[in-house]
Amino acid sequence: MEGDAAGGWPEPVVRVQSLSESGAATIPARYVKPEPERPKAELSGGGRRSNDDEYDDEEEEEKAIPVVDLSPAAGGDPAATARAVSAACREWGFFQAVNHGVPGDLLRRARAAWRGFFAQPMEVKQRYGNSPATYEGYGSRLGVEKGAVLDWGDYFFLHVRPPHLRSPDKWPHMPPDLRETTEEYSRAVASLCGRLLAAMSAGLGVAETRLQEAFGGEDQAGVCVRVNYYPRCPQPELTLGLSSHSDPGGMTVLLADDRVRGLQVRRRGAWVTVHPVLTNATYRSVEHRVMVNADEDRLSVALFYNPKSDLPLAPMPELVSPPERPPLYKPMTFDEYRLYIRRKGPKGKSQVDSLKAAADGS
């Protein structure tokens, strides 16, 4: 189904779910990625690659993805947990968390509520259509570049806090439990983010409260949710559900699909497929992308825990020691950075690197 080009989008908006449900055997040219960006060919449903040696190498990498036990009972040593989190963040920028304290029933309800939304008739979903001004609501593209190659996925983006950024009219009423469940899920995961920031701070050798303070404090940190829906794709080898990118926020916690894998993270120049244990969080912003599937749709829920939007951000003085370790980035607010990222859409690490280059040229 197509909308119009109003609201800031450069072209009519096409819902990927509608393309998937049309029964077409091929995808439109707008979704075909340049050959170097395409995922490696896999058997339908995520089977083994034809090159067994290459697959075995990747399989070893998959086994090496850090899994961190956040339970207080895990050895009873908070310092050991902080060391594990720090090592994962430094070496991967990504880890999977277990025993994190977010109830399993809440995770199931969050998935079910949002699957229920994407199962609604298109005219219901269209009421929440978004614009690039805030991206809040039901969307099908990122960036406003006319003629850009698009991703095979729809999404729903919501601001949770601070309250002045929320648009109540963008919070769906269907299914009936979606609003309450999303609020409950956001509170629980935001609390987890506070615990992770404390562990990350300890791993940096600064006070446990340091990163939370740098975010503006627990009451001032921003929280937003993006629910990603990747419909079945007749040619998954030609496209991506979400192009290579690094998240612009301070930390991302992802509730992955519990049935179908698709998330990949870049490690030493290679793409490694993640077999979900439960959630992930970022220390530095790891580059990642999402594959799609010919037989199954996928749904994931990403919660972004961000610094206060108008707070000037810069490397912590404790971690800078010119000339040996000069600051790599110029100070800017999160609002300024987010706007910078949104103009272009997902572009690997190039946008972050361009800010580093600007700082070097100062």
Which pLDDT value is given to residue 228? 96
Spatial separation of the C-alpha atoms in residues 229 and 140, rounded to whole Å: 10
Asked if 15 and 154 count as a contact pair (C-beta separation under 8 A), the reply is yes
Residue 112: exposure state from Cβ atoms within 10 A (0-12, 13-18, ≥19): middle
Burial of 35 (0-12, 13-18, 19+ CB in 10 A): exposed
Tell me, letter by letter, the H, E, C secondary structure of the chain: CECCCCCCCCCCCECHHHHHHCCCCCCCHHHCCCHHHCCCCCCCCCCCCCCHHHHHHHHHHHHHCCEEECCCCCCCCHHHHHHHHHHHHHHCCCEEEECCCCCHHHHHHHHHHHHHHHCCCHHHHHCCECCCCCCCEEECCCCCCCCCCCCCCEEEEEEEECHHHCCHHHCCCCCCCHHHHHHHHHHHHHHHHHHHHHHHHHHHCCCCCHHHHHCCCCCCCEEEEEEEEECCCCCHHHCCCEEEECCCCCEEEEECCCCCCCEEEEECCEEEECCCCCEEECCCCCCEEECCCCCCCEEEEEEEEECCCCCEECCCHHHCECCCECCCCCCEEHHHHHHHHHHHCCCECHHHHHHHHHHHCC
Residue 219 token pair:
């009451």
pLDDT at 180: 97
The β-bridge partners of 229 are 154, 299
Q: What confidence score (pLDDT) does residue 4 get?
A: 46
CA 24/CA 235 separation, integer angstroms: 10
Q: Along the 362 residues of the chain, how does pLDDT read in single tens digits?
A: 444 455 689 999 999 999 999 999 999 999 999 998 898 754 334 433 333 344 344 554 555 788 898 886 545 578 888 899 999 988 888 888 988 999 999 999 999 999 999 999 999 999 999 998 889 999 999 888 899 999 999 999 999 998 888 999 999 999 999 999 999 999 999 999 999 999 999 998 999 999 999 899 988 899 999 999 999 999 999 999 988 867 677 889 999 888 888 788 877 777 787 776 653 333 345 566 888 899 999 999 999 999 988 888 777 888 887 777 777 777 788 888 777 666 655 554 445 555 554 455 44
Instruction: Decide: 122 and 1 in contact? Cβ < 8 Å.
Output: yes
Q: For residue 193, with 0-12 CB atoms within 10 Å meaning exposed, 13-18 middle and 19 or more buried, which class applies?
A: buried
The CA dihedral of 44, 45, 46, 49, to the nearest 10 degrees, is -20
Could you give the CA distance from residue 202 to residue 315 in angstroms, rounded to a whole number? 16
CA separation for the pair 114, 128 (Å, rounded): 14
| Pair 199, 82: CB distance under 8 Å | yes
Amino acid at the residue 261? R
Buried b / exposed e along 224-242 (16+ C-beta atoms within 10 A): bbbbbbbbbbbbbebbbbb
Alpha-carbon Rg of the chain, whole angstroms?
20
Predicted local confidence at residue 321, as pLDDT? 78
How many Å apart are CA 137 and CA 129, to the nearest integer? 6
Q: What is the pTM of this model?
A: 0.83
Task: Specify the amino acid at residue 249.
Answer: G
What structural domains and CATH numbers belong to the chain?
A: 16-32+103-185+209-354 (2.60.120.330)
